[in-house]
Amino acid sequence: MASVEECRTALARLSSHFDHIGEEDRDKHVVERTLSCTVSDLGVTFYGRVHRDGLDPFTEVPHERPAEVRLTIGSDDLIKLVDGELDLARALLGGRVRIDASFGDLLRLRRLL
């Protein structure tokens, strides 16, 4: 099981990945959304916000409005997902990851991860 700090570091890496998404892809696939990532085996939730300029750093402080995209994942799977070792679609189908979001947001997220 990964630690809270390892998960925090993985989410920071995810934020930096967004810096490398081209402007054309951002225009097509990125809309402003509040995010939450609950790490189920650690009992911690991180909060972030995606927008055309990137992905804000995740914190443990909730936003004023509820998260529009909610991810629930185990700590080890979070690390693997960010590192590209876990395919999001397969993880969803296998029950390793749960995402509560609109269908459109799911499609956008899949293109960006």
Domain locations along the chain: 4-112
DSSP run (H or E) holding 35: strand 33-39
Class of domain 4-112: alpha beta
User: Against a cut of 0.95, is the pTM above it?
Assistant: no
Going by pLDDT thresholds of 50, 70 and 90, the confidence category of residue 35 is very high
Q: What does the pLDDT read at residue 49?
A: 93
User: What percent of the chain lies above the pLDDT cut of 90?
Assistant: 59
| Mean of pLDDT values over 64-77 | 94
CA gap 13, 39 in Å, rounded: 16
| Mean of pLDDT values over 23-44 | 89
Q: Starting at the earlier edge strand, list the strands of the sheet with 54-55.
A: 54-55, 44-51, 33-39, 69-73, 97-100
